Each structure stands twice: as C-alpha cells, then as structure tokens.
Amino acid sequence: MAAALAFLAILPPSAADLASAVTQAHASALMTSRQIAVVSTDHHTVKPWFAGRIALSPPVTDFADQGFRLAGGRLDRVAGRPAAVVVYAHGLHEIDLFVWADQGAALPASSLRHGYRAIFWKHGDLDFAAVSDVQAEELEHFSALVRAASE
C-alpha cells in the first residue's frame, strides 16, 4: 500500500488538476492577502529573492511600458509541487505568473475556472501558467511578452 501511494505521489498531475491548482492558488492568494512576499518593481530585487528559496530561476521582467508592471513575487505550490510566482499589476488586476519545474505533465492550452483565466506553456525544463481575471486578449498579450522575453 505504501509503495502504491509513493508511486501515485510522483505521477505528474493531469491537465485538469493543473488548471484547477493554479486558479485555486491565485484566488487563495488574493483572498488571504498573501499575494506578494517580496514587493518591488525592480527585477534586480525580485529575481534574486527566489534564489535559495526554490530550485529554479524564474524569468523576471518588468513590462510596465506594455501595461504590465512588475509588482513582486512569492512562493506557492502547483499540484503539490513548489512554484515561483512572479506577480504583475495590470490596471486594477493582478496577473500571477506561476513557474515550476517540468515533471512531464500534459498542460492545458488555456482554461477558465471560477472567473479566472489561465494560459499554460512549457519552455526548456520549466512549466508556466499566467493566471488572472483580465480579458482573454490581455492575458494572451501578457503571455506572449513573457515568452518573447524568455527566448
């Protein structure tokens, strides 16, 4: 029995589980006022904050000129796995950029759950999800900016 549970714990989560996990984490952070652990618009402050706290280096870029201002970052979990979350402000909305180590899980292309949109993609050995209640076009534009900056 213990071996079966250990095996299940290492299986990658399903696409539906990932979509649910990131929207729940985003909503929970908003409701509990724990959106940001390191508050800064300076990527030279936010990026190093993740060092030693998580075993990956998330991309941290300020897109203020395009309407997506870097606000800070925090740590969270996605389907039981540690994730870096880079937080952006877009008008009165928050966009969370979740970044976690790729575990081979299939990612949904996009989802809408409980009023929150999520767009997923992979780059290298990292998985990404951008989550917010902004309009679909705005979240797609943000995602395109992050992808271009990560190239």
Alpha-carbon distance of 44 to 6, in angstroms, equals 39
Is 63 within a domain?
yes
**How many structural domains compose the chain?**
1
User: Phi, psi (5° rounding) for residue 75?
Assistant: -105, 150
30 within some domain: no
Q: Is the whole model's pTM more than 0.85, yes or no?
A: yes
- pLDDT value, residue 144: 97
Whether 14 maps to a domain, the answer reads: no
97 within 8 A of 47, measured Cβ to Cβ: no
Whole-angstrom Cα distance, residue 72 to residue 39?
4
Q: What percent of the chain has pLDDT over 90?
A: 62
Residue 126 domain flag = yes
The verdict on residue 112 lying in a domain is yes
CATH of the domain at 68: 3.30.200.100
Q: Does 10 fall in a domain? A: no
| 148 CB burial (10 A radius; 0-12, 13-18, 19+) | exposed
Position of tokens 């790729």? 102
Mention every residue, 6+ apart, whose C-beta is less than 8 A from residue 102. Answer: 122, 124, 125, 126, 127
pLDDT in tens, the chain (151 residues): 444 444 344 556 676 778 888 988 898 888 887 778 998 999 999 999 999 899 999 999 999 999 999 999 999 998 888 999 999 999 999 999 999 999 888 898 888 888 899 999 999 999 999 999 999 999 999 999 999 998 7
Note the pLDDT of residue 10: 53
115/140 Cα distance (integer angstroms): 16
What's the domain range around 92? 36-150
Answer whether residue 13 is part of any domain: no
Q: Is residue 19 a part of any domain in this protein?
A: no
What pLDDT, on a 0 to 100 scale, did the predictor assign at position 20? Answer: 84
Q: What's the pLDDT at 7? A: 39
Beta strand 81-90 pairing with 69-78 = antiparallel
